[in-house]
Amino acid sequence: MNTRRGITLADAAHEFLRHPTPWMLTATLAAAATARGYLGDWQPTDALVPIVMLAVFPFAEWLIHVLILHWRPRAIAGIRVDPLLSRKHREHHVDPRVLPLVFIPWQSLLWVLPLAVAIAVLAFPSPGRGLTFLTFLALLGLGYEWCHYLIHTDYKPKHGLYRAIWRNHRQHHFKNEHYWFTVTSSGTADRVLGTYPDPTTVETSPTARNLHADA
């Protein structure tokens, strides 16, 4: 998409589907949901698993953003540690309008998705609950990708909830990178964990577009 002025949701969706990560997550979602439906064995805990995941997700988002995406490159035992996710996220901060950098790097999903399958198999007492977990995880991942992508397009918020999420993430990019770490919600984990200040009390950071430049 060469120009992104005044785009509609349909325009945004068309561009969204041109990138590999949404397709990888959609394929995972379809496979997990199909297997879950085929297996049957529905239990009350199939409703509990998504509820717990939805409650935990903002905090997982916060932790991943702080500990992995904003990781400072460093030497550990003489080896430079600078993960792909961290490198790509620094590039994303340099120019938040470059759409390929908005998405989770597809190379990372080559190990994240198998890890999620392993958790579904090993961490749950039955295959049914594991598949419920995997289905909802893929759905959350797809929702994250869409929300994060849409914030970085020129689609203008039309509803209060999305406007709050849009403002929250843009403050992280253009106001101060040390606050507002959640992406798909506003004032949830950030408020609990102390990274949701009044924007009028926060100075504009000189390194919001160049992470760790002051290191």
Q: In sequence order, what are the residues at sequence separation of 6 or more whose Cβ sits closer than 8 angstroms to the Cβ of residue 6?
A: 154
Structure tokens at 139: 């759905």
Number of Cβ within 10 Å of residue 101's Cβ equals 17
What are the C-alpha distances in Å from 108 to residues 15, 103, 104, 105, 213?
21, 11, 7, 5, 25
In tens digits, the chain (215 residues) has pLDDT values of 334 456 899 999 999 999 999 999 999 999 999 999 999 989 999 999 999 999 999 999 999 999 999 999 999 999 999 999 999 999 999 999 999 999 999 999 999 999 999 999 999 999 999 999 999 999 999 999 999 999 999 998 888 889 999 999 999 999 999 999 999 998 899 999 999 999 999 999 999 999 987 65
Could you give the CA distance from residue 123 to residue 134 in angstroms, rounded to a whole number? 11
Instruction: Identify residue 52 by its one-letter amino acid code.
Output: V
Tell me the per-residue pLDDT of 140-149, one tens digit each, with 9 for 90 and over.
Answer: 999 999 999 9
Calculate the alpha carbon distances from 85 to 66, 95, 103, 104, 153 in Å.
12, 16, 10, 8, 21
Query: Which pLDDT score, from 0 to 100, does residue 45 have?
Result: 92
In this prediction, residue 156 carries a pLDDT of 87
Among positive and negative, which fits the CA dihedral 146, 152, 156, 162? positive
Contact 61, 149 (CB under 8 A): no
What are the extents of the domains in the chain? 12-193
Structure tokens at 188: 């949830």
Residue carrying structure tokens 């509803």: 159
153 Cβ contact list (under 8 Å, min separation 6): 4, 7, 12, 15, 99
